[in-house]
Amino acid sequence: MLDRVTSLQVFVKVADLGSLSAAARALGMSQTMASKHMAALESRLEVPLLTRTTRSMRLTDAGQVFLLQSREILAQLEEAECQVSARRQRVVGRLRVSLPVSFGLRKVVPLLPDFAKRYPDLSLDLSFSDRRVDMIKEGWDLAVRITHMEDSSLMARRLAPCPLVLTAAPSYLARHGRPKRMTDLAAHNCLGYTLTNKGPGVWRFGGVDELDVAVRGTLSADNGDALIAAAIAGLGIAYQPRFIAEQALEAGQLEELELDQPPGEMDGVFAVYPATRHPEAKLRALIDFLVEALR
C-alpha cells in the first residue's frame, strides 16, 4: 500500500505545477510512481481529482476542495514535526512580517502586547501593504494573506475564515433603492477592490454553486478600509470582508444587504512562509501565537 502522505504531496505538487512529470521531478521520483500515487489516492476517495487531456491537467471541483484540505494536513504534519524538534530552541531574534493593511491594523496589532510579553527577546519588523510581496526575493520571514497562494515554494497555515458582506449606507439606499437580486447590482454604483484575481469588475457570490456577477462603479481602490469609508459616505455599495465592515455595521453607518444569492467567503486568512523542512523557533512561535489568538 502506498504511503498516504506521499500521495498527498504528489497531488499538491501536481496542482501547483500542472503536470505529473513536473511534480515527479520536484519530489525526486519517477513519473510512473507519481502516477501510481495519484491513482491510489483517487481510488481511495472514489472520486476523480484531476481532469486529464493530452495537453493539460486541471482540478475537478472535488479536487479543488481536497487541495485545500491536503495543504492543511501537510502543514499540520510539518508543524507537528517542527514543534517537537524546535521545542528546546530559544525564541530570539528578529522577524520580517508583511501584513495586509486592514487585517494587520485591526486584528494583529492589538495582539502585539501579549506577544511581546510571551517572547520578550523576539523583535518584529512589520510592513503593512495589500500588495502581494515576493517573499523569497524580498527576504520576508512571514506574510499574512487573505487568500490561499498557489505557490509550491511557500507553506501556508490557515489562521481564520474570511466571510464577505455586501453593504451600503442608509443615505445611499434612500437615494437609489435596495437591491434584492444579484442582477439588480447592474443598476448600482459598486465600489471595486482592484487587487482581486478577477479585478474590481467581478464579484463572486456563494451558495450551492459559486456565481460571478459583473459590476461597475465610479470608484475602485486597493484597500478595503478606503472602500468602506466611501460606502459610509454614501458613494455606493461595498463588498468586503466582514471584519472590515463590522464596526460600521454595528454603528448603523452601513446596512447589510441580502440578495437572492448569499455572499461568498474567501479561502481564509493564511500565514505564509518559505518552505523549509525545519522553520526556526522564532517563526514557529509567531505562527502558533497567531493561530491561537485568531481562532
Sorted by where each starts, the structural domains of the chain and their CATH numbers stand as 4-84 (1.10.10.10), 89-161+268-294 (3.40.190.10), 162-266 (3.40.190.10)
Would you state the pLDDT for residue 278? 59
Determine contact, residues 13/23, Cβ cutoff 8 Å. yes
CA-wise closest residue to 255 among 245, 243, 241:
245
The string over 126-145, giving b where at least 16 C-beta atoms fall within 10 Å of a residue's C-beta and e elsewhere, is: eeeebeebebeeeebbbbbb
184 residue type, one letter: D
**3-state SS assignment for residue 285:** helix
Q: Is the pLDDT of residue 227 over 80?
A: yes
CA dihedral 290, 291, 293, 295 (to 10 degrees): 140
pLDDT tens, position by position, 4-23: 888 888 998 888 888 888 88
Query: Of the candidates 249, 197, 254, 195, which has an alpha carbon nearest to the alpha carbon of residue 221?
Result: 195
Per-residue pLDDT band at 51 (split at 50, 70, 90)? confident
43: DSSP letter: H
Per-residue pLDDT, 260? 92
Q: Per-residue pLDDT tens for 170-203?
A: 999 999 999 999 999 999 999 999 988 788 899 9
pTM for this structure? Answer: 0.67
Q: Closest by alpha carbon to 17, among 59, 46, 65?
A: 59
- pLDDT score at 144: 94
Q: Return d(Cα 114, Cα 132) in angstroms, integer.
A: 27
DSSP 217-255: -S-EES-HHHHHHHHHTTS-EEEEEHHHHHHHHHTTSSE
pLDDT in tens, 53-103: 766 778 888 888 898 888 888 888 877 776 665 554 678 889 999 999 999
Mean pLDDT across 108-129? 94
